[in-house]
Structure 1
Amino acid sequence: MSFRWIFANPVDGGAVDALQESLFGQQQNGNGARPDSKLSPQASNTIARLLNLRGITTYDQARHFFRPELGELYDPFLMRDMDAASNRLAAAARNSESVVVYGDYDVDGTTATAIVYSFLKDFGVKVDYYIPHRFKEGYGISEDGIAYAIENKVDLIVSVDCGITAVEEAKYARAKGIDLIICDHHTAGDVIPDAVAVLDPKRPDCTYPFDGLSGAGVGFKLVQATLTKLGLQQSVAYKYLDLVAISIASDIVPLIDENRILMREGLKLINASPRVGIKALMDQIKMEIGKISTSN
């Protein structure tokens, strides 16, 4: 099958040429290609034009795009309410409180649940999870879910991939003496729920540098920040990047900016040593270890 590139917008020819030069240089052999490259000038120009359309105009920007590094992740404390959220979750870990991770029923929600649940479990926290019934309870925090928390004498609910519109449910939880941390990535309504903390990069009053995180991505950021409050390195959270990568692919969030870092590193984990559940899924589709990409 042959492909033909159609460029949607005009590009700055001079900027494209400069980027092509910085990436591929002009040292070409008699066949028109660099000795250390299999790309023809036409192919390298196409790459430079596509990068230009993405707003990438320098070598450093291109390097970050193609080879993003974990050290380039944003500080989780740039997200509004992160200080309050991580303080509360760290206190729950220190004081052996009872916590329920309340997740959405889709892949993003279940991977987000697995991340926060596993993190708390590793620290010996009395933690449970609650996934609402898709047809009986519907999307978001439900009264049934809060009733479950009340019945089990839960001190703290951490919602992941849902909760940004749960204004009444947040009031109900507070009235019952249950603290609530909301981790979401959906668009907020006119009123922000009254919770201990509401983490959502799409909040109108949040200045986090990137608003395209998945729900699991926001949960991952909470884990990073909580590790800091517990006096540990944020890198301890990197073992959950495989789950973040799956959430990014399944929720079809934009594969740009911080998501490229999370996806790249998560795929490395999956391809190097997939966890049991992921390996079982790979076996079902007869996928070899080391061959997983975003298209799978």
Structure 2
Amino acid sequence: MRWKTKNLPNIETVNSLATSLGVDKTIALLLVQRGVDTFDKAKEYFRPSLKTLHNPFLMKGMDKAVERVFKAIEAEETIMVFGDYDVDGTTAVALMSSYLLTIYPNVVTYIPDRYKEGYGISYQGIDFAEDNDISLIIALDCGIKAIDKVAYAKEKNIDFIICDHHRPGATVPDAVAVLDPKQIDCKYPYDELSGCGVGFKLIQAIAETLEEPFETLHPYLDLLAVSIAADIVPMDGENRVLAYHGLKVINSNPRPGIKAILNQINKTELTITDVVFIIAPRINAAGRMKQGIHAVELLTEQNENLAKKFAEEIDKYNADRKELDKKITYEAIEQIRENNEEQNSTNVVFCETWHKGVIGIVASRVIETYYKPTLVFTKSGNKLAASARSVKGFDVYNALEACSEHIEQFGGHKYAAGLTLLPENYKAFKACFEKVVKETLPVELTSPEITIDAEVDLVDLTPKFFRILSQFAPFGPVNMKPVFKATGLRDNGYGKRIGKVENEEDFPEHLRLNIVYGADKKTYNAIGFSMGDKLEEINNSETFEAAFTLEENNWNGYSSLQLMLKDIRCEEVN
């Protein structure tokens, strides 16, 4: 594990900000690292305001999109809201359809079948629209590369409005309007919205045209928080504002579907991390194991009893998903070992019976064992489909683009992508991908990296310090939870391995320490997940240093600060 400490910002700027805010210099340093270097910026950072959201009509194509929606309403056309089957897509469909239904009754939803139709806009979906006299499709979280499919729809007199956030190709579909802030000629000030976020800008523009107050859109912010958290988009700019206020909705007045999920867990207030690990996997499980439309039904249902029923079904899907991804991950790792590919620059594995719904999760799990750009393939109809995941700092999308001669279709982001190819091209693609990555992956990116924000003295980590630090939330890419480094640490001798074991001969996986520090030998609780094997190293060392984040531990009504260990380095006894 590599430790990389961020460069120290200008000390005069840090001192000036600390004075103007009346905060600890470490807090000021963390703020300046995040581009928050003035009192006014800090005020906006700590109190994100919906008033700072950009005018939706700044987005290229927005005026045409709004005009086409109102034309459909005036002509009493049926509008189909079409979206991808993952969390971002299903939340976007729930948001768009539930809002449109407040102003117009002729709205239907459509989520493609992951297995029969594949990712994105499908010919089956367009045929469904034609069969049901639907003449306008609003596509969310997909469509930016669906040139042939939009042309196919146009032949049937079906119009498209595309709301996407993925990278466009050299040309975009000939739709009535293409809303995607990543278009080169789009002047919208923020280009990192989620797919649901782009959909939100469309309903914001519709609401403004109808002269509705912005407050009418508040009930949809919970869906935005879920999409932003699940799609791992940067937690800055509009995303941070929307996630901040969306979390407030989740914790104060969630829609029945989200409330039904929350009722399944024992937690009074959710953080963005809880959204990632509790809400998002359950919503995702519907599209992975069954049909994404089940997630839309859950998220749009107004009857609490029905919402509870839907949530119970989706919780079962999620339990099945966990078992399946555990099994396939084991098989994928065994395949790498059996093929003697542990020294490769990439992990590329394939089994035609692997469940398509979990291969993305499996790719991420494989990276935990073999830290390399990873592709997990399975059979999908007469083609092979894969999910790609990358390591920090490496653009897997660009690597796929370099291998495009072997690929039928691909799309995605820097760290996550999907693709399909013909079975006969698999070996050539695998060789090409290995070659491209081997030639372009810097050596320093071949092992996991911990980025440390600041070195601290544990005695300075007071409850007040933590209260201010908590206001840095919601955390996510670009605004990650601060990681600290402390040196000269000792365990008081009561450190132990903890966690459940399946067999008596196994050791618990996790680590619990009582760290002794400072002249007064004050103790600090510390937990290190999957770090149980570090205990012997600690016992054989004089002191150690730790990289960690801070959390509040609540136990029996008593709250204390707890160090969440990311890694430790020991100094061996001579």
User: Is the TM-score greater than 0.5?
Assistant: yes
- Alignment correspondent of 2:64: 84
CA apart distance, 1:92: 2.1
AA in 2 matched with 1:13: I
Residue 182 (1) aligns with residue 162 (2): yes
State which of 173, 177, 190 in structure 2 corresponds to 1:193: 173
Separation of aligned partners in 2, 1:228 and 1:52: 35
Name the structure 2 match of 1:12: 10
SS in 2 for 1:211: coil
2:95 is equivalent to residue 97 of structure 1: no
Alignment of 1:1-296 (within 5 A): 7-24=5-22, 44-288=24-268, 291-296=269-274
Structure-1 separation of matches of 2:249 and 2:107: 26
Q: Given residue 272 of structure 2, which amino acid in structure 1 is its aligned partner? A: T
CA distance in 1, matches of 2:241, 2:102: 25
CA shift, 1:235, in A, is: 3.5
Identity %: 50
Matched pairs, number = 272
Which structure 1 segments of 5+ residues have no match?
A: 25-38
Read off the aligned partner of 1:210 and give its amino acid letter: Y
Contact preservation (8 Å) 1:112, 1:219: yes
**Is the CA contact 1:182–1:198 (under 8 Å) kept in the aligned structure 2?**
yes
Separation (CA, whole Å) in 2 of partners of 1:273 and 1:11: 40
Distance 1:93 1:245 in 2: 29
User: How far off its partner does 1:46 sit?
Assistant: 1.3
Question: Which whole-Å deviations, capped at 9, do the CAs of 1:187-213 have from their partners, x for residues lacking one?
Answer: 111111100000011111111111111
CA displacement, residues 215-234 of structure 1 (integer Å, 9 cap, x when unaligned): 11110100010122233334
Counterpart-to-counterpart distance in 2, 1:101 and 1:59: 43
Instruction: Please report how far the alpha carbon of residue 18 of structure 1 lies from its aligned counterpart in structure 2 after TM superposition.
Output: 0.9
Q: Residue 252 of structure 1 aligns to a residue in which SS?
A: coil
Show structure 2 runs of 5+ residues with no match: 275-574
Kindly indicate whether the alpha-carbon contact (under 8 Å) linking 1:225 and 1:234 is maintained by their aligned counterparts in 2. no
SS, match of residue 155 in structure 1 = strand
TM superposition shift of 1:50: 1.4
Q: How far off its partner does 1:157 sit?
A: 0.1
Across the aligned residues of Structure 1 and Structure 2, the Cα RMSD in angstroms comes to 1.4
Is contact 1:96–1:125 with CA below 8 Å preserved after alignment? no
Counterparts of 1:134 and 1:120, CA distance in 2: 25
Alpha-carbon spacing, 1:81–1:235, altered in 2? closer, same or farther (3 Å)? farther
Q: TM-score, normalised by structure 1?
A: 0.88
Which one has a larger percent strand, Structure 1 or Structure 2? 2
Distance 1:230 1:282 in 2: 34
Contact 1:224 1:235 in 2 (8 A): no
Deviates further, 229-238 or 13-22: 229-238
* Conserved? CA contact 1:103–1:131, under 8 Å: yes
Indicate conservation of the 8 Å contact 1:164/1:187, yes or no.
Answer: yes
Aligned counterparts of 2:168 and 2:214: Cα–Cα separation in 1? 28
Structure 1 Cα separation of the partners of residues 136 and 205 of structure 2: 17
Structure 1 residues 62 and 6, CA gap change in structure 2 (3 angstroms): farther
- Partner Cα separation in structure 1 for residue 76 and residue 216 of structure 2: 20
Deviation per CA, 1:25-80, whole angstroms, max 9, x where unpaired?
xxxxxxxxxxxxxx6xxxx2111111111222101111111111111111101111
Task: Name the SS of the counterpart of 1:129 in structure 2.
Answer: strand
SS of equivalent to 1:158:
strand
Instruction: Tell me the amino acid that sits aligned with residue 186 of structure 2.
Output: C
Deviation string 1:247-284 (CA, Å, 9 cap, x unpaired) is 11111111111111101111111111111100111122
Within 2, Cα distance between the matches of 1:273 and 1:56?
31
Higher relative contact order (CA 8 A, sep 6+): 1
User: How many Å separate the matches in 1 of 2:203 and 2:151?
Assistant: 25
Provide the rounded CA distance (Å) in 1 between the counterparts of 2:4 and 2:14: 16
Instruction: Output one character per residue of 1:143-167: Cα deviation in whole Å (capped at 9) or x when no partner.
Output: 0111111111102000000011111
TM-score normalised to the size of structure 2? 0.46
2:263 aligns to what SS in structure 1? helix
Distance, in Å, in 2 between the alignment partners of 1:69 and 1:93 is 32
The letter of the residue matching 1:247 is S
* CA apart distance, 1:6: 6.7
Name the SS for the 1:93 alignment partner: helix
Change (3 A) 1:238 1:184: same
